[in-house]
Amino acid sequence: MTKHELYKKVTQAYTARFQQSPQLVVRAPGRVNLIGEHTDYNDGFVLPVAVDQAAWLAVGAVEGPLTTVRALDIKNDEAIFSTTEVPASVGGWADYPKGVLWAFLERGVHPAPINAVLASDVPVGAGMSSSAAIELAFAFAWNTLGQFDISLSDLALLCQKAENQYVGVNCGIMDQMISACGKAGHAMMLDSRSLERRYFPMPEGVAIVVADSMVRRSLAASEYNIRRAQCEQAVSHLQAHLPEIKALRDVSLRQLEQFGHDLPEVVYRRARHVVTENDRVVKFARALHSGDIETAGALMIEGHRSLRDDYEVSAAELDALVEAAVEVPGCYGARLTGAGFGGCTIALVAEAAVSDFKTHIARVYDERFGKQPTVYVTHPADGVAAIR
C-alpha cells in the first residue's frame, strides 16, 4: 500500500469504529540495517536506515480510564486496557502498546486513555523491526497528546525499555532509535553507548533491496537472548585480563586473540563476530563518506559470512538469497539483516540492475525452496512523525 492508502485506511477505520475523526495520525517506520548486526547490545556501532514501510496509528484521547486499540492487520483484533495501572501481559501484538504505557508509568508520566486504530506494512517477523515501529507510534502519540515534551531519543530509550522489560526481548537500542530519528536519504551511524548519531547520504543511483525469505521466527523465543548471554560471558572472562573493558565494543581483535584462547570455542566465535563487525561498521561509514560503494558492498559480504559462521544466526534460505544476489552484475554486496534465524536479506544494487536482480533471486530461490521471496525496493525515510 502507498502512504496515502495507509493513511486513508487507518483514518476511515477509526471514524467507522469510534464515530469521530482522529485527533492525530502517526507514522513510525521500520528499518533495515546496512551493517552492524548484534553489536548494539554490546555497546557497539550500527548503521541502519529507516524505510518506507511503517506502522500507522490513528488516535484520539477519550474520557474514562480505558484505552481501546484495534489492529486492522490482525483480523480487526482489539485490545482494551486501563491506563491507570500496569496492564497484564498476555503475549501478542498488544504487548507493545501495553509495554509503552508501562514504560511511561515507570518514568512517572501518566498517559491519557486513547482510542486508536493500527495498521502496518512492515513485515512481521522479517527482521525489519515491526515491533519498534509499533512502539514508537504509540510513544509518539501519547507524548504528543499529553504534551510531555520527551525528546525523540528519550522516546526511543523508553520503547527499548518496554521491549526489554515488559515484552521480554533483550534488544539493543538500534531499532527504536532509527525508527525515532531516521533521516530521509541517509543512513545513520549510531554509537550504542553514547547514542551519538552521524548521518551519511546514500549514494545516488544505488537501491536498497530487501528480500524477505518468508522464514519466520519468534524473536522472544529464539536464541537471541542466548547470544546476548554468550557475549556477556566473553566480557566477564576478558575482564580478568582487561579490567577496563565494559563490553565487547572495548575489545580489539588482537586482545581477543591474546586473552580469549581459553574461552569455550563457541563463545570465542560469538565474541569474534562482534569485535570484527564493529570494525566493519566504521570502515563502511568511511566508504559511504568517500562514495566507495564497492568497498561497502565487500564489507556486507564479509559481515554475512561472520554472521553465518561465527554468530550462527543465518539460515539456508538466507544464505541462498545472499549467494544469488552477489551473482548479479550490479549488485555491490548483500547479507542478512536483522537478528537472523530467518527474516530478510539486504543488498545494495545499481538501480539499472534492480529488475534483473529481482528476477534472478526469485528464480534461484524457487528452484531451491519451491517458494518466492517477497522483494522490497526501499528508500531511506524520516523517523516517526505526525502526519496530521
What CATH number corresponds to the domain at position 195? 3.30.230.10
Mean pLDDT of the chain, nearest integer: 94
Q: Using CA atoms in the order 286, 287, 288, 293, what is the torsion angle rounded to 10 degrees?
A: 180
Q: Which residue has the higher pLDDT, 87 or 240?
A: 240
Mean pLDDT of 212-233: 80
**Binning pLDDT at 50, 70 and 90, where does residue 361 land?**
very high
Q: How many whole angstroms separate alpha carbon 45 and alpha carbon 33? A: 11
Instruction: Identify whether residues 216 and 152 lie together within a single domain.
Output: no
| pLDDT reported for residue 220 | 41
| pLDDT reported for residue 282 | 97
Instruction: Identify whether residues 212 and 197 lie together within a single domain.
Output: no
Instruction: Identify whether residues 162 and 300 lie together within a single domain.
Output: no
How much of the chain, in percent, has pLDDT values that exceed 90? 83
Mean pLDDT of 19-40: 95
The pLDDT tens digits of the residues spanning 60-104 come to 999 889 999 999 998 889 999 999 889 899 888 999 999 999 999
Residue pair 328/356 in contact by the 8 Å Cβ criterion? yes
Q: Does residue 118 have a pLDDT over 50?
A: yes
Instruction: Identify whether residues 189 and 314 lie together within a single domain.
Output: no
**How many residues are listed for the chain in this entry?**
388
Q: How many whole angstroms separate alpha carbon 111 and alpha carbon 119? A: 21
The pLDDT tens digits of the residues spanning 247-262 come to 999 999 999 999 999 9
Mean pLDDT of 317-341: 95
- The CATH number that applies at residue 290 is 3.30.70.890
Range of the domain at 54: 3-201+381-386
The pLDDT tens digits of the residues spanning 43-63 come to 999 999 999 999 999 999 998
Instruction: Identify whether residues 7 and 77 lie together within a single domain.
Output: yes
Residue 133 vs residues 138, 193, 381: alpha-carbon distances, Å: 9, 22, 13
**Binning pLDDT at 50, 70 and 90, where does residue 221 land?**
low
**Binning pLDDT at 50, 70 and 90, where does residue 350 land?**
very high
Q: How many other CB atoms sit within 10 Å of the CB of residue 172?
A: 21
Instruction: Identify whether residues 9 and 42 lie together within a single domain.
Output: yes
Q: DSSP assignment, residue 40?
A: G
Instruction: Identify whether residues 265 and 153 lie together within a single domain.
Output: no
Q: DSSP assignment, residue 364?
A: H
Query: Are β-strands 385-386 and 206-212 bridged in parallel, bridged antiparallel, or unpaired?
Result: unpaired
- Cell numbers describing residue 203: 549514494
Q: Say how far residue 98 (Cα) sits from the centre of its chain.
A: 19
| pLDDT reported for residue 7 | 94
Of residues 175, 212, 310, 319, which has the active-site annotation?
Answer: 175
The pLDDT tens digits of the residues spanning 152-180 come to 999 999 999 999 999 988 788 999 999 99
Instruction: Identify whether residues 194 and 230 lie together within a single domain.
Output: no
**Binning pLDDT at 50, 70 and 90, where does residue 150 land?**
very high
Instruction: Identify whether residues 221 and 301 lie together within a single domain.
Output: yes
| pLDDT reported for residue 353 | 98
Instruction: Identify whether residues 184 and 233 lie together within a single domain.
Output: no
Instruction: Identify whether residues 211 and 108 lie together within a single domain.
Output: no
Mean pLDDT of 199-216: 92
Instruction: Identify whether residues 106 and 234 lie together within a single domain.
Output: no
Question: Active site includes 175?
Answer: yes
Mean pLDDT of 20-46: 95
Q: How many whole angstroms separate alpha carbon 59 and alpha carbon 224? A: 33
Mean pLDDT of 114-125: 90
Number of domains in the chain: 2
Of 263, 255, 299, the closest CA to residue 278 belongs to: 299
The pLDDT tens digits of the residues spanning 266-314 come to 999 999 999 999 999 999 999 999 999 999 999 999 999 999 999 999 9
Helical spans, DSSP H, in the chain = 3-18, 95-106, 130-146, 152-161, 174-181, 224-238, 253-259, 265-290, 293-309, 316-325, 354-369
How much of the chain, in percent, has pLDDT values that exceed 70? 97
| pLDDT reported for residue 218 | 56
